[in-house]
Amino acid sequence: MSQSISTSRRGFLGQAAIGVAAALVATAPAESQIVWTENQWKFPEFDPILHSKRKVRLVAECNIIADGEVLGALRNALNAMHYGFAVPMNEIQVAAALHGAANLINYDDYIWQKYKVGEWFKVDDPETGKPAVRNIFYPSKAGAKLSYTSTDPNNPGSAEMDTSVQGLQARGVTFLSCHMATEAQARVLIKRFSLTAQPEEIVHEMLAHTVPGVIVVPGVVGTVTMLQSVGHYSYLKVV
């Protein structure tokens, strides 16, 4: 799995991101809910992440799916911090802030099948060799109960080598879904499939199909800023 990782924030909070958000607001119908207020999302679930007192805090931002590079980067970060720097796992707090195409990693098989996400973002299912109609990034090869075959961190059958969302969550990673990205993707789906549904109908459907443990935040750009400025998180961008 190839990775290109930059710790620079250049461009992330730049005019491009601001322009995309402004364009969405400007073109959205009056009934849309692009902008969420504090009482519209599960802020109480996010607050402990924001104010985490753990020794090492990292937020990793990603907006591409590719081969799931962000998941491999998260695994590597956990292993390096724990084994390389001897940081106890209960002193590590990691948040995966996904938006753009990567936002779809947060949604279950129903969404992937109904809206042909694999075909849309050119993600093939390794079991079929065809465009994925299931979220291939969520389930662990160790099964739902995470029954790993080895305790050797270098063994492919260990928890330390698991790059699934399920496996990473078990190691303490919190996945964040971008509400603004979901709004934008709903509008793309309407055009892509010539749907008669209103954008908010698609959004509500998608929000009902997040994978377990995901926290939907108002917007990733603002959330990462809050994690950095309020929570004093280190920042990693995976591209």
Q: What is the pLDDT of residues 78-108, one digit of tens each?
A: 999 999 999 999 999 999 999 999 999 999 9
Q: Residue 226's closest CA among 8, 52, 63? A: 52
Reported pTM: 0.85
User: Does residue 36 lie within any of the structural domains?
Assistant: no
List the single range of 26-35, 53-62, 94-103, 228-237 with lowest mean pLDDT. 26-35
> Which has more confidence, 5 or 171?
171
What is the number of domains present in the chain?
1
User: Does residue 174 lie within any of the structural domains?
Assistant: yes
Calpha distance 26→28 (Å, rounded): 6
User: Does residue 226 lie within any of the structural domains?
Assistant: yes
User: Does residue 179 lie within any of the structural domains?
Assistant: yes
SS3 label, residue 167: helix
pLDDT in tens, 205-232: 999 999 999 999 999 999 999 999 999 9
Q: Is residue 14 very low, low, confident or very high in pLDDT (cuts 50, 70, 90)?
A: very low
Instruction: Please give the residue range of the domain that contains residue 222.
Output: 43-238
Q: Is residue 114 very low, low, confident or very high in pLDDT (cuts 50, 70, 90)?
A: very high
When pLDDT is averaged across residues 28-34 and rounded to a whole number, the result is 53
User: Does residue 81 lie within any of the structural domains?
Assistant: yes
Is residue 48's pLDDT more than 80? yes
**What's the CATH number where 99 sits?**
3.40.1260.10
When pLDDT is averaged across residues 131-153 and rounded to a whole number, the result is 97
Is residue 187's pLDDT more than 50? yes
β-pairing, 92-98 vs 5-6, is unpaired
Instruction: Using alpha carbons only, give the angle 64, 68, 72 rounded to the nearest 5 degrees.
Output: 120
Calpha distance 228→239 (Å, rounded): 19
User: Does residue 59 lie within any of the structural domains?
Assistant: yes
215: amino acid identity, one letter: I
Calpha distance 106→53 (Å, rounded): 26
Q: Residue 41's closest CA among 170, 211, 223, 202? A: 223
**Cα 199 from chain centroid (whole Å):** 21
User: Does residue 13 lie within any of the structural domains?
Assistant: no
User: Does residue 222 lie within any of the structural domains?
Assistant: yes
20: amino acid identity, one letter: V
201: amino acid identity, one letter: E
pLDDT of residue 31: 52
pLDDT of residue 152: 98
